[in-house]
Structure 1
């Protein structure tokens, strides 16, 4: 790509204050480069770039045609009308909404931001959640999968791998089961089995298939353990306390899913929720109860096929539970683990998926996926009770057997993603109306109104829309959208660090 073309691309993207002269490094094939240049010098580039900005530089926007009208529910008056024919390109573009960073960085960042606000509100209040929740006991828990065979890994302070303590021992396939090497983070052997033929691939796929059920049983067991600790029955626990949680799932390098969760103890259930917690249970006590419940959970998985054994599934031995208020960061023990750090951590992993693991393209992960497909092909259609427990396993082979949601929360942990999205839409409408009227508004003062339920709406939208496709017209337009999203991310990071009073040099370190 020529320097002139690079400069044209640069001016079409959001400016970055800390490095305005740095050109975009676009690695394009000749066909995509010609498509990109054609778009840059097209007559309707300004209209296209406006659409690109309006969808937040989404990499795979949805294209719709149709019309909608907004009416005042009290008077029946037509408030506004909108149609795709009014758009400069004759089509309405909307975000794809994909949470996976490997599919759409822009929508993934928006999903992570919403998840951050959702999680943080349940920790420190805000977004209609009272700040008193900050005084309730809170535990950060990590529940891992069990071992399906020794794998290579990194160790703290540059320690040796040592997946097994005994040295010199060989497995049935003649391979050493020990490793005395020091692996770096970028070592391709990290997460790979010491002996792939000994590794129990089938059990890992089955465990991941039933991991959502393990989590459900864990929440039930935790309520029972808490009720026993408080000297009441599970049925009457709501009269004394309420457990709320938010969790995300993450893939380890070995391709196994584990859960990160925030567990909060509230007081008695009320219509509003968020009651002060009983003093009888501190965060330290709650951490112990969470660990007790996680260690007690068991799920009996039925055989996948006639020759397959039944399995009793449980969480792994590496269960970590720690009070958020008094714990220390593992990467910096001298610094406290703050609510913002926990919320950011969970939001980050909420946007990850098996795609982040598949990118390493290791033989181990390919074999896991192949095992999932093989088991799906041999799975019995129905069991003796007429159920098909593994009927959809093939559909989830690309996720290595995990069929659960990557981010979930209990009903009263905090606000919902739907509320946050509706609030954003309402805010955008308010901003548009204020711009047309030439007035200013303070959205912070309208937060409660923006987050209110739909029952309080005074307008109704009636429309008819037709789906016409997804994505941009060609690879050149997609490359521009992806590059713009990356530059927007850098700019947002720089602004965020500037607000914190840090220099760019500190941020880059």
Structure 2
């Protein structure tokens, strides 16, 4: 690569932060700067930049060494052979796949995009899901954790935090129980306990540990209530209706997990997809059943150690249920949500974690993690039944005791993340081939073909791979990857804004030409 070309690459990068005047905070020190410049002017920069682009500017790619072979299952013919030795750098790089934005922005954005498509398909159809699901009742519900002690928070219309007439009232530890301050959204006090010594840290950790069990019992209770409402039996519910859901878990500022869920009622499963939902269950009725199930769920958690009491766990009193309106429905128009809104909400929540609050000097979260480790150290190895209910608590202390998946769905809610990823890989290969040959390609038709191919896969891959490490060679390469990911994000946002402007102008033909499926 010529010097002029390398300078063009440098100029195309977003500004790096050597001082406070640059907006992109990469924390580049002198050593990293030298590494960055060395990579830009290295002999194999072209090969490295191709790898960087191939992994989507991942900040912490996985390095693998090995070989794989693809065979046609019908004929036994060798279709393709690939090995890390075929790569110019001698190593195969693949995405880290981390969903957390604070760990890898590129992979997090891809995860959010896939989650968006998965969620939206279950709302309005598409991606192998029939569009008739848009006619079925759909509820967006939020199930929160109970209170473990009063915390500082924001109030509507700029209200005071915790006003009391008797401002001199104090807790048993001598601290005021009132707070007359008006907190902003970025106030570090928001989410912090009024009195940390009064706050029930142990109960919050135990609740987080059993939150997946509470969700399981919620789905069971909801099906039982639905069975009663429809006047059928549990064994015959599938002949009348099918309950599907997708949910994500999000951490509140106080470090407690709550669930955002889409609950959809279908008719009985048919060979062609889904039958219409029973007419007796409208979206408002489904919302009422969801709220009743959430408030009815109880679970008695076993003691963590010999001196620990048993706790009866439940969801918090704040249960929010809203009907979701699609282009086909007008349920509850005063409090409706569009498919794009809900899919965007859940995709955003799916990439959040405790890491979103780690940048702050948050004594509350540190104490929650310390409590989880303390309880893990005292946990009874075996209970009366020979089980170890808290045996792995220490492993999940960094998540404040929450051991569940951050995004889950029922089997028939919509397409899976695996299907989307496999289809995307095949699409990228076909598009690359079309670019080389100059053959036009219909992206919408391609999507349908690739998702259909997933059910008729005729190729088996046999490989032997060894983990060779994670990350780029040094901080300079990582800084380039992060900068390129930021530039890709800005470009994607500009394209999205351009498409929105086209739709607003009503130019549907141009919108079809410029929209990208993948």
Aligned to 2:313: 313
Aligned to 1:61: 61
Q: Per-residue CA shift, 1:37-82, capped at 9, x if unaligned?
A: 1111111111111110110000111111222233333444433332
Structure 2 residue matching 1:262: 3-state secondary structure: strand
Q: Cα gap change, 1:473/1:284 in structure 2, threshold over 3 Å: closer, same or farther?
A: same
For the 8 Å contact 2:209–2:403, the answer to whether it is kept is yes
Q: Cα gap change, 1:164/1:72 in structure 2, threshold over 3 Å: closer, same or farther?
A: farther
Q: Per-residue CA shift, 1:232-259, capped at 9, x if unaligned?
A: 2222211111110000000000000000
Deviation at 1:427?
Answer: 1.0
Deviation at 1:164?
Answer: 6.9
Deviation at 1:11?
Answer: 4.0
Aligned to 1:325: 325
**C-alpha distance in 1 between matches for 2:362 and 2:354:** 12
Q: Cα gap change, 1:437/1:68 in structure 2, threshold over 3 Å: closer, same or farther?
A: farther
If the length of structure 1 is used for normalisation, what is the TM-score? Answer: 0.91
Unaligned stretches of 5+ in structure 1? 16-21, 327-332, 504-509
**C-alpha distance in 2 between matches for 1:365 and 1:359:** 11
After alignment, is 185-194 or 334-343 more displaced?
A: 334-343
Aligned to 2:299: 299
For the 8 Å contact 1:152–1:163, the answer to whether it is kept is no
Q: Cα gap change, 1:273/1:455 in structure 2, threshold over 3 Å: closer, same or farther?
A: closer
Aligned to 2:219: 219
After alignment, is 162-171 or 127-136 more displaced?
A: 162-171
**C-alpha distance in 1 between matches for 2:32 and 2:325:** 51
Aligned to 2:393: 393
The 5 Å alignment of 1:495-506 reads 495-501=495-501
Deviation at 1:272?
Answer: 4.9
Structure 2 residue matching 1:452: 3-state secondary structure: helix
**C-alpha distance in 2 between matches for 1:53 and 1:399:** 32
Aligned to 1:378: 378
Q: Cα gap change, 1:239/1:264 in structure 2, threshold over 3 Å: closer, same or farther?
A: same
Taking only aligned residues, the RMSD between alpha carbons, in angstroms, comes to 2.4
After alignment, is 423-432 or 104-113 more displaced?
A: 423-432
Aligned to 2:197: 197
The answer to whether structure 1 residue 70 and structure 2 residue 95 are counterparts is no
Q: Cα gap change, 1:471/1:390 in structure 2, threshold over 3 Å: closer, same or farther?
A: same
The answer to whether structure 1 residue 230 and structure 2 residue 235 are counterparts is no
Deviation at 1:201?
Answer: 0.3
**C-alpha distance in 2 between matches for 1:164 and 1:441:** 67
Q: Cα gap change, 1:358/1:281 in structure 2, threshold over 3 Å: closer, same or farther?
A: same
Deviation at 1:180?
Answer: 1.7
For the 8 Å contact 1:173–1:197, the answer to whether it is kept is yes
**C-alpha distance in 1 between matches for 2:164 and 2:397:** 30
Deviation at 1:334?
Answer: 8.2
For the 8 Å contact 2:423–2:454, the answer to whether it is kept is no
For the 8 Å contact 1:419–1:452, the answer to whether it is kept is no
Aligned to 1:422: 422
Deviation at 1:123?
Answer: 0.2
Deviation at 1:89?
Answer: 1.1
Structure 2 residue matching 1:228: 3-state secondary structure: helix
Deviation at 1:473?
Answer: 0.4
**C-alpha distance in 2 between matches for 1:71 and 1:213:** 42
If the length of structure 2 is used for normalisation, what is the TM-score? Answer: 0.89
**C-alpha distance in 1 between matches for 2:276 and 2:350:** 28
**C-alpha distance in 2 between matches for 1:385 and 1:402:** 23
Deviation at 1:284?
Answer: 0.6
Deviation at 1:14?
Answer: 8.8
Aligned to 2:132: 132
Structure 2 residue matching 1:500: 3-state secondary structure: helix
Deviation at 1:144?
Answer: 0.3
Q: Per-residue CA shift, 1:241-295, capped at 9, x if unaligned?
A: 1110000000000000000000001011335543211111110111011000000
Unaligned stretches of 5+ in structure 2? 16-21, 327-332, 504-518
The 5 Å alignment of 1:131-210 reads 131-162=131-162, 167-210=167-210
The answer to whether structure 1 residue 344 and structure 2 residue 329 are counterparts is no
Q: Cα gap change, 1:79/1:440 in structure 2, threshold over 3 Å: closer, same or farther?
A: farther
For the 8 Å contact 1:47–1:88, the answer to whether it is kept is yes
After alignment, is 486-495 or 70-79 more displaced?
A: 70-79
Q: Per-residue CA shift, 1:216-243, capped at 9, x if unaligned?
A: 0000000001111111222221111111
Q: Per-residue CA shift, 1:433-452, capped at 9, x if unaligned?
A: 33344322223113233113
Q: Per-residue CA shift, 1:304-339, capped at 9, x if unaligned?
A: 00000000000001110111129xxxxxx9895210
**C-alpha distance in 2 between matches for 1:271 and 1:403:** 36
Deviation at 1:457?
Answer: 1.9
Aligned to 1:287: 287
Deviation at 1:92?
Answer: 1.2
Structure 1 residue matching 2:452: 3-state secondary structure: coil
For the 8 Å contact 2:14–2:483, the answer to whether it is kept is no
For the 8 Å contact 2:248–2:260, the answer to whether it is kept is yes
